[in-house]
Structures are given as C-alpha cells and as structure tokens.
Amino acid sequence: MLSYISRRLGVTFLILLGVSFTVYVIFAFLPFDPAALTCGKNCNDPGIIEANRRRLGYDLPFLTQYWVFIKGLFIGRTYGEGAALINCPAPSLGYSFQEHSCVTTLISEALPVTLSLAIGALVLWLVVGVGLGVLAARYRGKFVDSASTIFVLIGTSLPTFLTGLMLLVFVVIKWHILPFPAGNYTPFLEDPYEWAQILFLPWITLAFAYAALYTRFVRSAVIETSNEDYIRTARAKGLPESEVVGKHTLRAALAPIVTMAGLDFAGLLGGAILTESVFNLPGLGRLAIGAVVEYDLPIIVATTLLAAAIVVTMNLIVDILYAFIDPRVRIA
Amino acid sequence: MTTPILEVTNLAKFFPIQSQGIFSRVKGDNKAVNGISFTLNAGETLGLVGESGCGKSTAGRTILKLYEPTSGTIKFEGEDITSYSASKMKPLRTKMQMIFQDPYSSLNPRHTIGSIIAASYEIQKITPENGVKRAVQDLMERVGLNPEHYNRYPHEFSGGQRQRIGIARALALKPKFIVCDEPVSALDVSIQAQVINLLDDLRDDFGLSYLFIAHDLSVVQHISQRVAVMYLGKIMELAPTEELYKNPHHPYTKALLSAIPIPDPILERKREQIILSGDIPNPVNPPTGCVFNTRCWKAQDKCRTTEPVIMQIGASQVACHFPD
Amino acid sequence: MTLLEVKNLSVGFPTPDGVVHAVNDISFSIDAGETLAIVGESGSGKTVTNLAMMGLLNSNTAQISGTARFQSHTGEIDLLGIDPNELQKYRGQDISMIFQDPMSSLHPYFSIGDQIIEAHQVHNKVDPDVSKERAIELLGLVGIPDPASRITSFPHQFSGGMRQRVMIAMALVNNPSLLIADEPTTALDVTVQAQILSLLKDLQREFKMAVILITHDLGVVAGAADRVNVMYAGRIVESANVFDLYAKPAMPYTQGLLDSVPRLDRPHTNRLSAIPGQPPSMISLPDGCSFAPRCSRISEVAGSKCLMIMPELTLRTDAHSARCFIGERAGA
Ligand SMILES: Nc1ncnc2c1ncn2[C@@H]1O[C@H](COP(=O)(O)OP(=O)(O)OP(=O)(O)O)[C@@H](O)[C@H]1O
Ligand SMILES: Nc1ncnc2c1ncn2[C@@H]1O[C@H](COP(=O)(O)OP(=O)(O)OP(=O)(O)O)[C@@H](O)[C@H]1O
Ligand code: SF4
Ligand code: SF4
Ligand SMILES: [Mg+2]
Ligand SMILES: [Mg+2]
C-alpha cells in the first residue's frame, strides 16, 4: 500500500510539472505582449512597458522564464530593485501589476471562499443525493421514487445561474428570509453563523444540480448492486433488511461515488464561476474571471495552474481512497 | 502413411502480465500454453480435456492463428503456417473453423440467422452454386434447423438451436478441420446428446477432423478417437481413447477420471475415489519440475526438480517420472 | 421426523409477455438428516422453489402460494406464511443456503472472516471474539489451511473451490438443521467438485443436518442423495429413493435423461440416445402432460390422453411416485 502511494505521488509530481510547462508554453505563445498588459488595457507608454518587462523578467529567454517561475515556487521571487523592490515569498506564483499584489496573496484570500463554498455544497449534495437515491431504489415505483424522479428532472435541466437567481429573487428579495449577499464574505473562524448565512444560498444553488445527478446515479447503482449474488447471500444469512441495504449494498454501490464526488469537487474548486458571480462571492472563480477581463496574465497563469493541480491532486486522493474501499485494487 | 492434417510441435502461447498504472511494465508471463505437441489425422477427432484455465481454449485459438504463437510450429496439411500473416491465412480460413462454447454471446443479436450463416460466404467472397440463400437453407436443414426460420433472430432460438446455428456457420465453407471449444458445456444433458450426435454425423458425412475441447471426460470419451489430457499448459497424457480410460498411466489422468461421478448409485457408492488436495497453481508461476507435483500423491524429490520428458508406454504418451 | 413439508407450492412471475409459471403446485417433504436431491433441466424451477421457501424472492415480482411447514428451534413455523421480518430469524440459523457461483456469492469488499463472523453475530448475542473463534474453527473444518491468518483475506485472494468452502463454513456457522445447496459444484472443476462433495458429506454426518441438493448432474445425485425429486417444467414428475429411481425410472423423461448421459462405465456406443426437442415455454404450458411434445412413449397411451389431460403424481411402489399415464396402478 505504501509503495503504491509513494509511486502514485511521484507520478503526480511529474504530471504537475508537465501541466505547468504546458500552461507556460500556451501563454508564452499567445499573441499578447505580457509586458504591455502590465499597466492596464489602454496603456501605451513604451518607457513603462520596457521597465516592467525587465522587472518581470519577460525579456529573458522562454526556458529561463519558466525556470525562474518554478524556482519562485520554492524559494520566492523578487521584482525590481532598490526602493521599488517587491518581494513575493515562496511559494511565489508571480506578481500582478494591476492588483499591485503578489499572486499568491490574492489566491490565498480567494481560496478559502471557494473552499467553503465547495465543501459545503459537497456535503449537501452527498447527503441529499445518496439519501434520496437509496430511498428511491428501496421504494422503487412508490411515491418517494416518483418524487425523486421529478427532482432529478428539474435539477438536471435547470441551469445553475437560474437556480441561483431564482433563490435570490424569492428568498432574499421577496421573502426577506436572508440578507442580501453584499460580497462581504466572513471567514468561518471570525463568525461561523454569518459565514453559513452568507454561503447558504450559494451552497443550495451549487448542490442542487449535483444532488439531482447523484440521486439518479445512486438509485441505479443501488438497484444494480441489489441484484448481485452477494446481496442474496447477505439476506440468506438472516441479516435484517436495514443491514442488507445499509451495509452490504451501500458499501458496494457507493464505491464509484467516491471517484465521482472527488472529481466533481475538484472541478468546483477550480472555480464555481457562475455561482460566485451571482452571489458576489470573492472566490477563485471571480478572481480568474476578473483577471481574464483585465488581461492580468500572472493571475491567469496561476489560477489555471492551481485548477490543474487541484484536479490532479484530487485524482490521487480518489485513487488512494478507492484502494482503501476496494481491497481488489490494493496491489502490493 | 498420409500426412496428418495438423501437426503441432512444442507450441507455446504466453500472455504478458502488465503491472497497472501509467508506467506499466511486464511483470511476468501467463504461460497459458507451454510447449504442447500432437498430430491430428484426417477424419479423426482428438479430444483435449483439462480443468478450467489449463489452456485448452488458448491452444485451440493459437492453432487457428487467432493468437500469435509465442514459439513452436503449426503445420496444416504439411504447410508451416506458424508465421503466416493474417492475409496469408485468409484463404486457409475456409478450411479451418471454430465452434464456440457460449451459444448466447457468439451470435450477433441484431442479425438474422440467415445472414449470420451467409456472412461466411461474404467474407471469403464465395458464391455458392445455387445462390447464397439456397446454400444456407441446405445447411440449416443439415444441422436440424427449420429452413423456414431463415429470417429469425438468435433470441428466438433455444441454447441447443443456437449451437446448431454456430455449427452451420462453421460448416458453410466446407472446412476440413474444426476446433470445437466446449460446444456442449452450456447445454442441458438432454440437449447435449442431440448436439454431440449431430457433430458425430457431420464428421462422418464430410470427413471432418475435430479438435474437441471439453472439461467433461465422458463427453470427450464419446466423440474422440484419441484424447490429450492437459494440466497447466502442458499435455500430461495422450492416448487412444479406449486405452486412456481403461489404463490411465499418469496420476493426473487417474485423479481426473476418478473425480467423475457415475450416474448409478450402486457403482458410484462402491467406487474408489482419488481426492486431490489443493488447487490448481497459478500459470504465471507454475511449479518447477513436474507441474503437477503440488497435488500429486506420488511426487518425489525428483518431481520437484526435473521436468519429466514424454515417454511412450504402449500406445500412450505419458509425461511422468513414475507412471503406472 | 419430518423436518420440512411443502404443500402445493406455486410461484408465478408476471411479465409483459404473460405469467411465467416457474413452479406449479409442488408438494414434497424432507426428513431430518436426509439428503434430498432435486434434478431437472435448466429453467425447470429448482432454484425458484428453494428461494421461495427461504423468503428470498422479491414479493413485488413473485406470486407465491402454498405452505411449507418447518420444525424450527422455536417450534413449527410456516415458511411461506410467516412475516418476512420474522422469517429472517430462521434464515441462516435453522436453514442455510449456498449458491452456484462462489465467485460472486461473497461480498468483494469484506474480509471472509468478517462475513462469517457477521453470520454468527446476527443470530447469537455473544462477544465478537467468540464469533471469531467460531469462524476460525469452521474455516479449519472446511479445509482452509491456516484459518487463523486467512480470516483477514478477501474473497478475491481465494480460488473458486476455496470460496465455496468459505460459503459452506458461513452456512454452517449456526448449526442449521437444513442446508440448501443450489448447484454447489456446477461452477467448479471436477477434481475440486470431488473435494467439495466429499466435504459436504462428512459435514452432513457431523452436523446431522438435512440437505436439499439441487443439481442437474445425475452422477452427483447418484453418489450423494437418499431421495430424488425430478422436476420438469415447474412440476415434480418423479420422486423416489435414489436406488429405485436409477434402477426403475418410471417416467419417460427420467428414462430419457438417464439414457442421454454419456457414461464412462459403459462400453462405447456409437450414438447417444438424445431426447428430441426442448422444454416448453413456462408462459404457455401445454394442456396435457408437459413432456408430451418430446415423449417417445406417448403412443403407448390410448387416444390423445397425454395431449389433453395432465397426469397426476401417483404412487407406483413404496415411496416411488411418477407423473405419467403409463404404469399407473389400477384404481390409483
Ligand atoms: N486473451 C488473453 N489474455 C491474457 N490471458 C489470457 C487470455 N486468454 C486466456 N488467458 C489466460 O490463459 C490461461 C488459460 O486460459 P484458457 O482460456 O486457454 O483456459 P481453458 O483451459 O480454456 O479454460 P476454461 O475451461 O475455463 O475455458 C488462463 O490463466 C487465462 O487467464
Ligand atoms: N425473477 C424472475 N422473473 C421472471 N421469471 C423468472 C424469475 N426467476 C426465475 N424465472 C423463471 O422461472 C423459471 C424457473 O427458474 P429456476 O431458476 O428455478 O430454474 P432452475 O431449475 O434453477 O434452472 P437452472 O438449472 O438453470 O438453475 C425459469 O423459466 C426462469 O426463467
Ligand atoms: S512426475 Fe512426479 S509429480 Fe509429476 S505426475 Fe509423475 S509422479 Fe506425480
Ligand atoms: S403422460 Fe404420456 S406424454 Fe407424459 S410422459 Fe407419460 S407417456 Fe409421455
Ligand atoms: Mg476455454
Ligand atoms: Mg438454478
């Protein structure tokens, strides 16, 4: 098991290196002058541009630029000199001249927001999806099943931004159940109550579609598993129905859910862009969108890399989890 | 003596075992068929028996060049086909056919049985004398199917009938040699007999040669002139049918024969049985020396170190240091 | 002592094409310690009969009628009439079942020890360590080498024969008085089949249990059974002591079955005597004898009686009954 994990870790590291290089290549060959972009869209003072080019290292050969970037990740990076010296400590992902801030700082502010959003939504959709899916499978053809079918239908056909807008309109504006989300995100450690209050609607918005998908998936997985011979064996032993379903069936049916949930979660961390914009949350998605609009290259590169890193890492976590769940995958 | 229709010498087929992951590497070989030799004469049936996973199907498929042999030679009608390419094999395919075990999955459910049987002609671009339909219906009649069912789909037929469809398909190109891979294993006893009788008749009518693969020794006894007993990719004993069943020389043959229950309560309860201990070893790491030594009650030190060479005892070929 | 007495058991499965009459009005009994074999072609209703008694058929899809009086540790119960939640107490304790496919009958995610311990725990209020001891004891009994350490192994680490041993150990963990073995060796090799059958025989003697052995192998029956029920198209067509059945089969189907097996102990014949045709559809069973379309002796019965009237299962000699107009005793 340990050698399996360490081998997988090694592979993951190599993949990340490859991804970062690819991202770097893509942005290096885009038809923009990164230096020209440093002072905003409509800036065309060649003096400033050239100065920035040197300060940011865009004048160096491509491979050297990449090497400096990678080095920055481990030992930090400084820009300019003397009084204008800017220091971005490790792990440095670059410096945004438009935001006048190290990219790492920007990301470390946005990440907790997205993380809160994604984790909350994950918990919500897993609870609803698995619960409803199991119930629908257990009582196939009965009321719960039909009700869940309608839920699935609505959940999978309603676009996320519409769900979000509708929730905003009714819950906040019409019924005044919750205050208007004014973009004033409160960290969990400061005020858990307010944190939850602000994130409540975004969670529901995000979880809605996923919960519907998962309900459908869990329902069919449970039905399929309950036809397995080993489930019949469990019944033949005299186990009560609750254990046959709750232990034997679920254990097998939920194994693929781990993979699915892990990857969906990774996707969300990469930026729940629509939801963040609708609810005005200062998360990664909004950071990335803002950067794209402003051509803020360092931030674009960093967020792309981060998203890739998250997906690759989640893949690793999922595989390791899976090996714990399914003994057949555990190879020495 | 005439040349045999098939001559197999030291044939081996290994399947590489890959480790999982992106940087996979070959961890070893599954020695599914590990050096087997035999000949088959025209009009003869050679039975190939052995337990699950011993390499019977792999042997059959490798002989037909459906798998690329790892080593050894295959001669068909005196012609060495071991290294023939797919295109060079194509004209030979009319003469060599195969019938499969599972009559349910080996027929395409979306094609009528008429077109399934006729496909053989199309692939080889052969037009039978009186037209394809006529030829197919003749075949259907010959294997005991109603020719009017030409346009029906496989799911409308029972297991035994589907096996007849498979047989008709194999017969379409008038082959000389057919590998029958467990053709009756999936069928009920009362249906098995029908199909075995049919195969028997066809062999006599068309002068066919069969390599008849099965795990049921009583079925093999009925249809074969000679029988080869396989264990872990190797032939343990090869003998004329009468001789093999009356005077088995190899301990494994004896155990195998003794494990078959006789459908007669009086005889069955009096019978001495040899109950082997243990399971069949993994063909990736077969035992050294004689591959049967881990389960053999006669095994000596020599068996664990030296592989027995095949020796001739009367009409039997036996691979054992201490045969009976 | 009669351990189980089944009367007028019928099972139908409604399908879009019509009701599948899988089991039609069958009655039989089994004494304590006895081995009753049920033989018949694929689809003749062997498995369904026993699943019905175990309460393992889905009551939403199966129509079951009849009675099955069973002497349990708490007194006589009707397996078919009892509340499903009540029946669960007897499953795995008084009656156990092992299945055809040992590869798929064990749960792939739980260790074999856990699966056996669970079977013991559910019927015994004892410390888990006691159950573990019992599991190790039984694994030893069924011939698993080094059971104390193999108890943590998972099913995929065992061969087919070993898995069937594990299934047997699990079935016997509570000393049942009846073991239903549904084709326990069909998926196994002959040399392994011989091991398992001799093991079952020894254990039956040791545990003094009755066994219902379902198989289609007449050789296996010859060696193991005391009495035999032959089934055809959902009905019992012949029932006799094993020696009588093989010596004097009374029903043409049984005769045909015995004749069509290629036999090692007889001189080689050129042709096997096959039964022509195939079993009837279970949706539209013929009006008369269900074997009539294939019967070679139909001409011995006057008129077209066989095609119009279903013969009854009537007594021929002591405890030997058959369902055929030929050889019926006068006045029966
Ligand atoms: N295409 C393949 N790739 C890899 N391994 C294979 C392949 N086909 C067969 N094997 C392996 O080769 C060995 C022999 O298999 P084969 O199917 O020839 O056995 P068999 O004697 O026909 O058994 P059975 O009675 O179960 O059909 C087995 O260990 C099997 O897992
Ligand atoms: N859940 C079900 N729904 C509909 N038909 C069913 C169902 N289960 C079994 N049957 C049908 O009932 C009949 C009897 O099946 P059963 O499994 O008892 O046969 P069997 O005698 O055990 O055969 P085998 O030897 O193949 O195991 C078959 O025709 C089968 O198709
Ligand atoms: S060589 Fe030895 S181990 Fe092999 S079969 Fe003969 S006696 Fe047994
Ligand atoms: S009742 Fe008639 S058809 Fe049925 S088995 Fe007897 S003779 Fe044959
Ligand atoms: Mg095979
Ligand atoms: Mg069955």
| Domain layout of chain C by residue ranges | 1-93+175-325, 103-174
C1-93+175-325 falls under which CATH superfamily?
A: P-loop containing nucleotide triphosphate hydrolases (3.40.50.300)
Least confident range of A314-328, B246-260, B300-314, C124-138? A314-328
| pLDDT score recorded for residue B62 | 96
CB contact under 8 A, A325 and C109: yes
CA–CA distance, A69 with B318 (Å, rounded to integer): 71
What is the arithmetic mean of pLDDT over A231-254?
A: 92
The pLDDT value recorded for residue C138 is 92
Q: Which residue has the higher pLDDT, A62 or B192?
A: B192
SS3 C321: strand
Stretch A31-56: mean pLDDT? 71
Tell me the Cα Rg of chain B.
21
CA distance A245 to A226: 8
Given a contact cutoff of 8 angstroms between Cβ atoms, the answer to whether C152 and B13 are in contact is no
Lowest pLDDT segment from C9-18, C236-245, C272-281: C272-281
Could you tell me the distance, in angstroms and rounded to a whole number, from the CA of residue A292 to the centre of ligand 6?
Answer: 64
Give me ligand 4 centre to Cα B113, in Å.
33
User: Residue B308: CB within 6 Å of ligand 3?
Assistant: yes
Q: Which contiguous run of DSSP H or E holds residue A101? A: strand A101-102
Percentage of residues in chain C having pLDDT higher than 70: 98
pLDDT at A217 over 50: yes
Residue B97 CA to residue B321 CA, distance in Å, equals: 37
Over chain A, what is the mean pLDDT? 82
The single-letter DSSP state of residue C93 is: T
Nearest to A73 by CA among A119, A16, A123: A16
Which of C74, C88, C93 to mutate against chain A (most A CBs within 10 Å)? Answer: C88
The Cα of C88 is separated from the nearest Cα of chain B by a number of Å equal to 34
Disruptive mutation site among B18, B23, B27 for chain A (greatest number of A CBs within 10 Å): B23
Using CB atoms, pick whichever of C159, C193, C242 lies closest to residue B265.
C242
In degrees and rounded to multiples of 5, residue C241 shows phi and psi of -60, 145
Percent of residues, chain A, with pLDDT higher than 90:
16
Vertex C56 angle, CA C55 and C60, to 5°:
90
Rounded Cα distance between A293 and A280, Å, is: 16
Using the CB atoms, write b or e for C237-267: b if 16+ within 10 Å: bbbbbbbbbbeebbbbbbbbbbbbbbbbeee
Beta-sheet strands, E only, within chain C: 2-15, 18-31, 35-40, 63-72, 75-78, 95-98, 178-182, 210-215, 227-232, 235-241, 314-317, 320-322
Each residue's pLDDT tens digit, B284-313: 889 999 999 999 999 999 999 999 999 999
Please, where are the H alpha helices in A282-331?
284-294, 297-325
CB contact under 8 A, B218 and C261: yes
Q: Return the number of CB contacts < 8 Å for A and B.
A: 7
Instruction: Give dist(CA C44, CA C55) in Å, integer.
Output: 19
* Interface test with chain A among B17, B22, B24, by most A beta carbons within 10 Å: B22
Assign residue B318 a region (left: φ > 0; alpha: ψ between -120 and 50; beta: otherwise): beta
Is C11 near ligand 2, meaning CB less than 6 Å away? no
Is the per-residue pLDDT at C331 higher than 60?
no
CA A274, CA A157: separation in Å to the nearest integer?
Answer: 16
- Taking alpha carbons only, the member of C68, C298, C314 closest to residue C178 is C68
pLDDT recorded at residue A318: 86
For residues C178 and C34, what is the distance between their CA atoms, to the nearest angstrom? 9
pLDDT at residue C330, as a whole number: 64
pLDDT at position C32:
94
The answer, yes or no, to whether residue C56 has pLDDT greater than 70, is: yes
Please state which of the ranges B35-44, B270-279, C244-253 shows the lowest mean pLDDT: B270-279
Of C85, C104, C118, the CB nearest to A229: C104
Q: How far is CA C205 from CA C33, C163, C177, C209, C228, in A?
A: 8, 22, 12, 7, 19
Sort out which chain B residues have CB atoms less than 8 A from A8's CB and list them. 21
Cis peptide before C286 (omega within 30 of 0): no
In Å, how far is B281's CA from the nearest CA of chain A?
20
Q: What percentage of chain C exceeds 90 in pLDDT?
A: 71
Chain B residue with minimum CA distance to C196: B275
Q: Which one, of B69, B122, A50, C13, lies nearest residue B80 by Cα? A: B69
Higher pLDDT, B262 or A74: B262
Confidence (pLDDT) at A332? 42
Chain C: partners with 3+ C-beta pairs within 8 Å: A, B
CA-nearest residue, atom 1 of ligand 4: C324
What are the boundaries of each domain within chain A? 103-327
Looking at per-residue pLDDT, the higher value among C80 and A203 belongs to: C80
What does the pLDDT look like over B133-151, one tens digit per residue?
Answer: 899 998 888 888 888 888 8
Q: What is the mean pLDDT of residues C293-312?
A: 91
- Separation CA C143–CA C162 (nearest Å): 8
The more confidently predicted of residues C217 and A171 is C217
Of C193, C194, C260, which has the smallest distance from its Cβ to B193's Cβ? C260
CA distance C317 to C328: 10
Average pLDDT of span A263-270: 81
Domains (range + CATH), chain B = 2-223 (3.40.50.300), 251-323 (no CATH)
* For the CA of C290, the nearest ligand: 4
Task: For residue B252, give every residue at least 6 positions away whose Cβ sits within 8 Å of its Cβ, in sequence order, or none.
Answer: B229, B231, B236, B237, B292, B295, B296
Give the DSSP letter of residue A171: I
In CATH terms, A103-327 corresponds, of 1.20.1070.10, 3.40.50.2300, 1.10.3720.10, 3.30.9.10, to 1.10.3720.10
Q: CA-CA distance, B214 to C107, in Å (whole number)?
A: 31
Interface test with B, best of A1, A3, A5, A7 (most B CBs within 10 A): A7
Q: For B159-208, how does the pLDDT look when each residue is reduced to its tens digit (9 = 90+)?
A: 888 888 999 898 888 899 999 998 888 788 888 888 899 999 999 889 99
Write the residue in C93, C123, C156 that is nearest to A328 by C-beta: C156
Segment holding A88, helix H or strand E? strand A86-88
Helix (H) or strand (E) holding A79: strand A77-79
The reply to whether residue B23 touches residue A331, judged by beta carbons under 8 angstroms, is no
- What is the structure's pLDDT at C332? 45
C57 CA: nearest ligand 2 atom: 1
Q: Whose CA is closest to atom 17 on ligand 2?
A: C47
Closest residue in chain A to residue C179, using alpha carbons only: A236
CA of C135 to the centre of ligand 2 (A): 33
Q: Is the dihedral of CA A312, A313, A318, A321 positive or negative?
A: positive
- The interface predicted TM-score (ipTM) is 0.89
* B95: pLDDT strictly greater than 50: yes
pLDDT of C109 reads 93
Which pLDDT does position C8 carry in this prediction? 96
Considering A269-283, B194-208, C221-235, C266-280, the range whose residues carry the highest mean pLDDT is: C221-235
Between residues C299 and A193, the one the model is more confident about: C299
Please state, in angstroms and as integers, the Cα–Cα distance from residue B154 to each residue in B134, B157, B161, B228, C20, following that order: 20, 6, 9, 34, 21
Question: Is the sign of the CA dihedral B257, B263, B267, B271 positive or negative?
Answer: positive
Subunits touching B (CB < 8 Å, at least 3 pairs)?
A: A, C
When mean pLDDT is compared across A104-118, B219-233, C26-40, C87-101, the lowest value belongs to: A104-118
Buried (b) or exposed (e) across C48-66, using 16+ Cβ within 10 A?
A: bbbbbbbbbbeeeebebeb
Q: Which residues of A touch C110 (CB under 8 A)?
A: 251
Give the full edge-to-edge strand order of the sheet including B79-80.
B26-40, B6-18, B71-76, B79-80
Could you tell me the two tokens for A173? 């504006």
Q: Does C116 or A99 have the greater pLDDT score?
A: C116
A30 versus B176: which is more confidently predicted?
Answer: B176
pLDDT (0 to 100) of residue C110: 94
SS in 3 state form for chain B? CCCCCEEEEEEEEEEEEECCCCCCCEEEEEEEEEEEEEEECCCCEEEEECCCCCCHHHHHHHHCCCCCCCEEEEEECCEECCCCCHHHHHHHHCCEEEECCCCCCCCCCCCCHHHHHHHHHHHHCCCCCCCHHHHHHHHHHHCCCCHHHHHCCHHHCCHHHHHHHHHHHHHCCCCCEEEEECCCCCCCHHHHHHHHHHHHHHHHHHCCEEEEEECCHHHHHHHCCEEEEEECCEEEEEEEHHHHHHCCCCHHHHHHHHHCCCCCHHHHHHCCCCCCCCCCCCCCCCCCCCCCCCCCCCCCHHHHHCCCCCEEECCEEECCCCCC
Q: Quick: pLDDT tens for C61-70.
A: 899 999 999 9
Residue C305 tokens read as: 């009686």
Among the ranges given (B20-24, B65-69, B267-271), the one the predictor scored with the smallest mean pLDDT? B20-24
Report, as an integer, the average pLDDT of A278-297.
Answer: 80
- Mean of all residue pLDDT scores within chain C: 91
pLDDT band at B249 (very low <50, low <70, confident <90, very high): very high
User: Which chain A residues are closer than 8 Å to B25 by Cβ?
Assistant: none
Is the Cβ atom of B307 under 6 angstroms away from ligand 3? Answer: no
Identify the band that residue B11 occupies on the pLDDT scale cut at 50, 70 and 90: very high
Is residue C222 very low, low, confident or very high in pLDDT (cuts 50, 70, 90)? very high
CA of B299 to the centre of ligand 3 (A): 5
At residue C266, the pLDDT reads: 77
Question: Residues of A with CB below 8 A from C91's CB?
Answer: 235-238
pLDDT at site C105: 94
In this structure, the residue with its CA closest to atom 22 of ligand 2 is: C47
Beta bridge partner(s), residue B29: B16
Residue whose CA lies nearest to ligand 1 atom number 3: B15
pLDDT, average across residues A99-110: 84
Percent of the residues in chain B that have a pLDDT greater than 70, as a whole number: 97
Give A137 to chain B, closest Cα distance, Å: 30
